[in-house]
Structure 1
Amino acid sequence: MLRKILLALLGVCIVLGIWYHELIGYGWMQAKGQFRILWNTRPLEEVLADASFPDSLKQKIELIQEIKRYAVDSLGINPSKNYTTFYDQHGQPILWVVVASEKYRLNAKEWEFPVIGTFAYKGFFERERANQQLDELKQLGYDTRLNEVSAWSTLGFFRDPILSSMLKRSEGQLAELIIHELTHGTLFVKDNLEYNENLADFVGEYGALKFLTQKYGARSPATLDYLDSKVYGEKYDEHILRGTRKLDSLYATYNPRTPERVKEDTKWRLIDQIVETVDTLETKPASSSPIPKKRRFNKQNLPNNAYFVGYKTYRQQQNRFRSEFEEKFDRNFSAYLAYLKKTYPSL
């Protein structure tokens, strides 16, 4: 009897292995990439004691520790052992994410992963594997985009290291990044990537400004530079989100009888118009006149639907969080975060 049960279990394992062979292979590849990084990290004490390591970068490492303490003590972020080790990238990217969207609809392709749920992107530690996935998606008719990743959260499964590329950031950018990733480790709702990313963006930006103000002062160069970047960033986000709404309206006019040529022509004309009008956006630094920003794309390199669905994922709910925080919680952030933790089940 026991033998029959064991044979049955073995049969089930074989069937599942065949059925999920692609997912298992991807998981193994990602595990290897993650463990390669973890194996080559250095304790911060060792890095800070290394006479050959530049003092300017040591100061950034110490700043990250201040940011982390502030996030835990003043914002209510869960304490963790993240950012207590260091990984030197030697100037090379270490992670890429693939994003894909339907060709004539702003609908992101989603990937299902055990435990952590559904994601509208897929990460790779090997550029060649990422390019292979891009080619496969293009052959299936998707618009695609490949992004380099500057940081990520393992949601408490591993001890996330400080990456050497982080140390190139300004004080404000660094604070926003660290608090963003720590937020994922505090509250991450399964199968709701848009909620998770919008929340982490909101907390990261709010926390960064509060940290800079407390440490350097409201009129300090670090705080004012960060505010200047946010002014333009918000204008750009609003512009792109307006563009997504225009694209949604355009795609709604397409039907099975609409010729492919017409779809392509109207789609790219509208995207070109959205990109062209980015040039009208400008920001006014605290101590000088407005500065128009250079466009991020040109006519030979227009963004496709994968770029726009990324904005919908990361930025569409910002006003929701801001309004809830200000109107229901009277800008009491600790109370607001405690409410979110209690209300939304996290991994």
Structure 2
Amino acid sequence: MKHIFFRVISVMCLAAGLTGCTGVSYYAQSLKGHVDIMTARQNVARLIADPSTPETLRVQMASASAIRQFATDELALPDNPSYRSYVDIGRDYVTLAVFAAPEFSLTPVVKCFPVFGCVPYRAFFSRDSARKTAAELQQQGLDVYVSGVTAYSTLGWSSDPLLSTMFSRDETHLAGLVFHELAHQRIYVDDDSAFNEAFAVAVERTGVRKWLRAAGDAAGLRRYETDLTRSAELAAQLSQTRDELSKIYGELGTVAQKRAGKAAAIERLRRRYQQMRNKRWGGYRGYDAWFEAPINNAKLAASSVYNERVPAFLRLFDLCSGDYPRFYAAVGRIGALNKADRGEALETARSCE
């Protein structure tokens, strides 16, 4: 799916130091991967000014620079060195995120880290390490999903650079990534990935709309709204399947019966997608790869992290009259509540104050 879900926070043992952590090799590869990227950074302004910079790269850097400035000037996102440097990482993904969930549950396996708290995945710069971990989790009987990630955030702990992976599509896509990752630097609540990701998606979507309107790109805005409509319709289908599976897993029955019910629910999802693609979307095939690959609880759980609370955040944004500082203040107040009250406060908010 459209990056489903595939922007991830780098997890490094910054607080305790490598020798004080469990899984030293995991933290070592995380730290090495991040340091390798940081040492390869090139200043965006200098790349634009350097006559030896290839023209294609110069155009990309100029666009990225304008988007980055828009983020601060118009969206009240942090004005810092992040996304003002660039690294060509020479591969399709910067990290691989490994999600896991029990065979008969949609609750993802959560991993907790110093400084950054608990998240429903593990991120690897090393492809071999990601595959090894995925195999180990599968041997434990868990459903596993491995997703390529094109951007990540250290939440302001370091000056995150633009990555070559962020330029795989058009300017609208790039703007969404920059706005999303900077939103994580603006507000981040420990141990609540669903809250953090939905907030960042809300900033991403409202920000991209504002950016396209400011650019006078009516055609681009129409394309973006069409993409969002497809994404929402697909999210509804995935939610329906999660509901069906939750019922199947909660009912009494043998392991074989539950496995058969699970397989049937996933097959119904595939058929509904094909109908939607062919009849409602005019044959648009942008999500085919996601459906052609195996679908399991881990994959479906990953999708819920990024989608379920987005409407509530967008409604709160409207209650704040589209004023970003007021919106961030409201989100901050809700985020400061304990986790049990946070979701209800968000869903039932009646004003920005």
Q: Same fold (TM over 0.5)?
A: yes
**1:102 corresponds to which letter in structure 2?**
P
Query: How far apart are residue 334 of structure 1 and its match?
Result: 3.3
**2:325 corresponds to which letter in structure 1?**
S
Give the one of 262, 267, 275 matched to 1:272.
Answer: 267
2:295 aligns with 303
Mapping for residues 200-279 of structure 1, pairs under 5 Å: 200-217=200-217, 219=218, 221-253=219-251, 255=252, 258-279=253-274
**1:154 corresponds to which letter in structure 2?**
T
For the 8 Å contact 1:42–1:86, the answer to whether it is kept is: yes
For the pair shown, the structure with the greater C-alpha radius of gyration is 1
The separation in 1 between residues aligned to 2:88 and 2:317, in whole angstroms, is: 38
Query: How far apart are residue 92 of structure 1 and its match?
Result: 4.1
Mapping for residues 185-204 of structure 1, pairs under 5 Å: 185-204=185-204
Give the one of 301, 315, 319 matched to 2:307.
Answer: 315
2:343 aligns with none
Query: How far apart are residue 141 of structure 1 and its match?
Result: 1.1
1:28 aligns with 28
**C-alpha distance after superposition, 1:116-137 (max 9, x if no partner):** 1001010001011111110111
Instruction: Indicate how the Cα distance of structure 1 residues 44 and 331 shifts in structure 2: closer, same or farther if over 3 A, else same.
Output: closer
Give the fraction of aligned pairs with identical amino acids, expressed as a percent. Answer: 24
Query: How far apart are residue 252 of structure 1 and its match?
Result: 1.2
For the 8 Å contact 1:272–1:302, the answer to whether it is kept is: no
3-state secondary structure, aligned to 1:22:
coil
The separation in 2 between residues aligned to 1:169 and 1:300, in whole angstroms, is: 21
Query: How far apart are residue 178 of structure 1 and its match?
Result: 0.7
Mapping for residues 2-151 of structure 1, pairs under 5 Å: 22-151=22-151
**C-alpha distance after superposition, 1:252-271 (max 9, x if no partner):** 11x4xx32221211111111
For the 8 Å contact 1:173–1:226, the answer to whether it is kept is: no
3-state secondary structure, aligned to 2:158:
coil
The separation in 2 between residues aligned to 1:205 and 1:184, in whole angstroms, is: 14
Query: How far apart are residue 114 of structure 1 and its match?
Result: 0.7
3-state secondary structure, aligned to 1:190:
coil
Give the one of 339, 342, 346 matched to 2:330.
Answer: 339
For the 8 Å contact 2:98–2:123, the answer to whether it is kept is: yes
Question: Which runs of 5 or more structure 2 residues have no equivalent in the other structure?
Answer: 1-15, 338-353
The separation in 2 between residues aligned to 1:317 and 1:126, in whole angstroms, is: 31
**C-alpha distance after superposition, 1:236-280 (max 9, x if no partner):** 112112221121122111x4xx32221211111111111221122
Q: Which of 187-196 and 167-176 deviates more? A: 167-176
Q: Which of 160-169 and 150-159 deviates more? A: 160-169
Query: How far apart are residue 174 of structure 1 and its match?
Result: 1.1
Query: How far apart are residue 24 of structure 1 and its match?
Result: 3.1
Question: Which runs of 5 or more structure 1 residues have no equivalent in the other structure?
Answer: 1-15
The separation in 1 between residues aligned to 2:26 and 2:167, in whole angstroms, is: 30
- Per the normalisation by structure 2, the TM-score is 0.84
Instruction: Indicate how the Cα distance of structure 1 residues 27 and 276 shifts in structure 2: closer, same or farther if over 3 A, else same.
Output: same
For the 8 Å contact 1:213–1:223, the answer to whether it is kept is: yes
3-state secondary structure, aligned to 2:268:
helix
**C-alpha distance after superposition, 1:191-217 (max 9, x if no partner):** 111100111011101101111111134
The separation in 1 between residues aligned to 2:152 and 2:18, in whole angstroms, is: 30
**2:302 corresponds to which letter in structure 1?**
G
**2:56 corresponds to which letter in structure 1?**
S
**1:309 corresponds to which letter in structure 2?**
A
**C-alpha distance after superposition, 1:143-180 (max 9, x if no partner):** 00111100000111111111112223212111111100
For the 8 Å contact 1:88–1:163, the answer to whether it is kept is: yes
The separation in 1 between residues aligned to 2:323 and 2:283, in whole angstroms, is: 35
Instruction: Indicate how the Cα distance of structure 1 residues 331 and 252 shifts in structure 2: closer, same or farther if over 3 A, else same.
Output: same
For the 8 Å contact 1:99–1:306, the answer to whether it is kept is: yes
Instruction: Indicate how the Cα distance of structure 1 residues 154 and 298 shifts in structure 2: closer, same or farther if over 3 A, else same.
Output: closer
For the 8 Å contact 1:111–1:122, the answer to whether it is kept is: yes
